[in-house]
Structure 1
């Protein structure tokens, strides 16, 4: 249910047609390699960039950097060279983000195209996962990519004008609702901001973690012992920045489900019928991950007005009885829903609130994680992000303010009720979202 963290959880299988290549190790990294026996993913990404400028790749150099099975999948050194020649040479647009085993960065390639390059490494430090996706360079290319990515796609890029009106710059089924995944947490953040404005709570109000309100990942708060105390602002930061499900559920319980449901209207959601009753993540997990499909079928058989009465029973399902699922399960009926138009209204509403006295927590939570979009902060000093996912669902939603004061929102919603998406769908969707922002800002 968390696209934000998945953007750096790169596929471990090398994708044929991705771009990779190599040459001798750059001099600036030689000393580091001598002191560090195992190169990091960042080292290997640097090597790929350098190699893109020194083709072709030798067999020895390819074997020194790419795991054998992955190298074979790409057709050896010749295949790497051919793939990279089609998209390089690469020039970094900004510093890449990396950990020991994962790296991701935006680059300018051939014909001034923008490319997202991701690298994963194994225990040996050799490349085991490598993927490159091109950013659409026009609205026509963007539409074609959306149709390729998913059988159901809703997309729109908006510019927010005077009075907070979301004007569609370009869209595809912009007013068609789709399942949101964790992007529903925007409404929880809105409910918290409303409670703060009314003086019911403050961003510094404390709340202990309760075992009964814990959920499953994404997130980390489920690992904290009961009684651990955080402020509501900290819960909001966890909920938005790493899509912490336990944080979201604690806020829903603290604020009340009715308050979050009311927030759907306050933040302009015109497609909220499927959002009632508003589920916690634990309740959704119980419906889809414990006794499925019988429990889910019983819930869906209830008239909608009676489903709220079933929620305490879902809360009682032990987390130990919930198991992950790999294929889509009832994504059109057990989820949270909105259209791109609703996401623009929500982000615009939150943007308005963030500017009010006493509401710094809204912007702080939404600014921590840029969702991998990698926009130049000189050109885009403000970037907000919230995404979401589960099998068969990917959503990405961004608000970006340009240095000239224009406010742009992009929403990408992909769904497939029959088949789970491949491991690279998040990266392809990210390239679409970034294109939406930059095409609108021209």
Structure 2
């Protein structure tokens, strides 16, 4: 399954419909439609001319039917398109000029458009048949004029609820902090915990205890993800499970891999990678256990978990193992509002995640390509880096993003942030935009 297919699947899901409404102002995603080529010769499209026309469609309403194909307008009606462009003008000021136009073929490429306060990058795709209207347009990046890391930090700090973040330069010694707020404060990090599972797999394979090609049956399918539809005990390589866990955040892959490696060994990675308060975070829950504990039917266990120490929580898991299954989870109970994010969660401080990313950089040679499958940002922003890896996580009231990057000058950088709000949903699109701003600055600012 491609990244685009997976994204569309998520947007169609119960929770994805909510996320989609938030993401439209940030990301306009349309898949290029493969149209048949007529037998007769067709005039070549004038890609630069279409790019110039994009500026006019962004500058003011009008002419959409001549510029966009019916396929595009069926997905994004004119009224929705005009609302998007008005929002960009409001956010970034008047449109001033067309920037760089970089075709990567006769019908596709990248286009930069300059506003008064930002430069927006787009991927523009034309129909191969005349009149070569636009069939695909995707916002790939926003670079604000005069932006600074201090401004990004202030905007992150202004978000409602609790926000903690850290950016650090990585090298031979301990990470050197570049930017931080509450960097040692334990935060709910949702699926970011899967990086600890990946780290244990990297350790075990490097030690010769495991091989990436080893087979593990899909014995712990969770309540969501592509693998939830696979047959019971489908044979999977450890590498395939890790790729699904990191690139798609597949919960069944995560649970299967964690238990195949051994929960105790995965838990031990917290101390090995420098987690400052492992007792707050242990034992790591599988996704099935975490969301089963959030169910109203298990309120008694939830209350006991919230007041227990690490050893008591481990005993509670052993005692209650038979009560937790994917079938006992009603996603609707946890999809619309935060539920127990201060107790039934995975916890790590920003600097814990920085130290984990640094450990993976130093010891996870075979794990790094898996982290780079889905960098979570647009191609234009990712291209600013020589290499970029990512894993984040979210649920109602929680979003966390963790990036490991190598700049084009060779310098390694970690960026991690978590936003928790037990009282309300978080604005995932706004948080994503702030992290992209930070990444852009970290890619080229003197450190």
What TM-score, normalized to structure 2? 0.75
The residue aligned with 2:213 is 204
Residues 251-301 of structure 1, C-alpha deviation per residue, up to 9 Å, x if partnerless? 211121111111001111113222112111110011113525444223324
Cα offset for 1:328? 0.9
Q: Which runs of 5+ in 2 are unaligned?
A: 39-48, 105-109, 125-133
Structure 1 residue 215 corresponds to structure 2 residue 225: no
Partner of 1:56 in structure 2? 60
Q: What is the aligned partner in structure 1 of residue 327 from structure 2?
A: 320
Equivalent residue for 1:385, pick from 386, 390, 394: 390
1:397 CA displacement: 0.8
C-alpha deviation, 1:30, in angstroms:
12
What CA distance in whole angstroms lies between the structure 2 residues aligned with 1:346 and 1:15?
29
Q: Which region of structure 1 is more displaced relative to structure 2, 391-400 or 8-17? A: 8-17
For the residue of structure 1 that corresponds to 2:297, the secondary structure is: coil
- 1:347 aligned to 2:354? no
Aligned to 1:237: 243
Quote the Cα distance in structure 2 between the aligned partners of 1:295 and 1:95: 58
* 8 Å CA contact retained: 2:161, 2:422: no
In 2, distance between residues paired with 1:18 and 1:377?
16
Match in the other structure for 2:149: 139
The CA distance in 1 between the partners of 2:166 and 2:213, in whole Å, is 36
Q: Is the 8 A contact 1:278 1:336 kept in 2?
A: yes
Contact 1:52–1:90 (8 Å) recurs in 2: yes
Listed as ranges, the matches of 1:89-128 within 5 Å are 89=97, 91=99, 107=112, 109-111=114-116, 113-115=118-120
Distance in 2 between residues matched to 1:343 and 1:157, nearest whole Å: 10
Whether the 8 Å CA contact 1:107–1:117 is kept in 2: the answer is yes
Q: In structure 1, what is the Cα distance between the partners aligned to 2:111 and 2:353? A: 25
Kindly indicate whether the alpha-carbon contact (under 8 Å) linking 1:366 and 1:384 is maintained by their aligned counterparts in 2. yes
Give the distance between the partners of 1:395 and 1:348, measured in 2 at CA.
17
Quote how far apart the aligned CAs of 1:407 are: 0.5
Superposed CA deviations along residues 357-394 of structure 1, whole A, max 9, x for unmatched, are: xxx53122112111115466765221111111111111
Displacement after TM superposition at 1:245 (Å): 1.2
Equivalent residues of 2:114, 2:120 under 8 A apart? yes
**Pairwise CA RMSD:** 4.3
Does the CA contact (< 8 Å) of 1:117 and 1:133 recur in 2?
Answer: no
Alignment of 1:267-278 (within 5 A): 267-278=273-284
Unaligned 5+ segments in structure 1 are 21-28, 36-45, 97-104, 120-124, 355-359
- 8 Å Cα contact 2:140-2:380 kept in structure 1: no
Partner of 1:86: 94
What is the CA deviation profile of residues 100-143 of structure 1, one whole-angstrom value per residue up to 9, with x for unaligned ones? xxxxx995532573447799xxxxx999x999966582123202
TM-score with structure 1 setting the length = 0.75
SS of residue paired to 2:366: helix
Mapping of residues 272-291 of structure 1, within 5 Å: 272-289=278-295, 291=297
The equivalences for 1:349-428 within 5 A come to 349-354=359-364, 360-372=365-377, 374=379, 380-422=385-427, 424-428=429-433
Larger mean Cα displacement after TM superposition, 401-410 or 170-179: 170-179
**C-alpha displacement of 1:47:** 7.8
Contact 1:328 1:391 (C-alpha < 8 Å) held by counterparts: yes
Report the CA distance shift for 1:76/1:353 in structure 2 as closer, same or farther (over 3 A).
Answer: closer
Q: Classify 1:49/1:281 alpha carbon distance in 2 versus 1 (closer, same or farther; 3 Å).
A: farther
Contact 1:366 1:386 in 2 (8 A): yes
Partners of 1:323 and 1:383 in 2: CA distance: 35
Aligned residue among 299, 305, 309 for 2:315:
309
